[in-house]
Amino acid sequence: LFKLKEKILKAIATKYKNKLLELYKKYENRTINSTYVKKELFDIKNRQIKNTCLSILSRLETQDIHDLIKEQYNSSENFSDKMAAFSLYLKSSAKDKLDLLNKEQIKAEKNLVHYETFLNIVGLNESSDSIEIIKQVEKSKAFKIEQTNSTRALYSTFASNKHKSLLTEEGLDYLTDILIKLSKVNEYVSVQIINKIFGKIDFLEKIDQVRIVKSIMELFKTLDKNKTPSVYNTVERLLNNSKKAVKSYKISAGKRV
């Protein structure tokens, strides 16, 4: 479904590029003279339309669109507009996007709310190098795995991006590594991720069930029932309740069910 959605959006961007650019420009600077509340509501709707147009256009991955996204990031005084552009640029194939990442990270680390938003965008990033980017960000001194807000913003959002974290080998390996580290310092967030991401693996294709149960087993082997009881019990309950997935794993491993 994700791939189909991207294909449809790219087709729309290709066919209606000029119209989308026209709409983007139209809603870029629209405003009204009214009360504060009405003006804010008007501006919010304009930004939603404008950023939707920019998001669709970003599927083209052309230099002129990269320039347009970067221009919005650099010139916008509105935080949501700036973050929308940052997210799209990070997802793109632009050659200088890591420079923009570093620039934004330096600013974000000075403000807790800004930093949490920054981590959330990095965690949700869907680019081909998204995991490398996350690994780069988590090496920063500002990122502390013990802080729930930071781990939820970066790790939980990455985990929620299931077509990346659950259905690709690279993503699943990284998610497993995250949970192995996180379970030792933050059981609360670890249990949230496990329940949310692995809770319905019986409904997946058998080939995915095998990969996922294998990763869960790798995590389970690292857990100490006495030191991390919440995570241990959650994983044990998950395996007991995911009968179809565990059966697929055992058959694949050549074990008797």
Q: What pLDDT does residue 243 have?
A: 95
The H or E element that residue 181 is part of is: helix 169-182
Query: What does each of the 257 residues of the chain score in pLDDT, given as a tens digit?
Result: 888 999 999 999 999 999 999 999 998 877 777 787 787 788 889 999 999 999 999 999 999 999 999 999 999 989 999 999 999 999 999 999 999 999 999 999 999 999 999 999 999 999 999 999 999 999 999 999 999 999 999 999 999 999 899 989 999 999 999 999 999 999 999 999 999 999 999 999 999 999 999 999 999 999 999 999 999 999 999 999 999 999 999 998 776 44
Q: How many CB atoms lie within 10 A of CB 104?
A: 21
Contact yes or no for 180/222 (Cβ under 8 A)? yes
| C-alpha span between 148 and 145 (Å, rounded) | 7
Q: Rounded to the nearest 5 degrees, what angle is found at the Cα of 230, between the Cα atoms of 226 and 233?
A: 85
Contact partners, residue 24, CB within 8 Å, separation at least 6? 50, 53, 54, 57, 68
pLDDT value of residue 256: 47
The predicted pLDDT at position 44 comes to: 84
pLDDT for residue 41: 85
48/51 Cα distance (integer angstroms): 5
Residues counted in the chain: 257
pLDDT at residue number 255? 60
* Residue among 97, 86, 93, 96 nearest 120 (CA): 86
Q: Of 153, 126, 160, which is closest to residue 137 (Cα–Cα)? A: 153
How far is the C-alpha of 177 from the C-alpha of 101, rounded, in Å? Answer: 24
Radius of gyration of the chain (CA): 21
Smallest CA-to-CA distance from 242 within 191, 193, 186, 204 is with: 204
Decide: pTM greater than 0.85. Answer: yes
* 170-201: pLDDT as tens digits: 999 999 999 999 999 999 999 999 999 999 99
| Token reading at 203 | 């409904």
- Residue pair 188/146 in contact (Cβ under 8 Å)? The answer is no
Residue 9: C-alpha distances to residues 2, 124, 176, 236 (Å): 11, 18, 32, 41
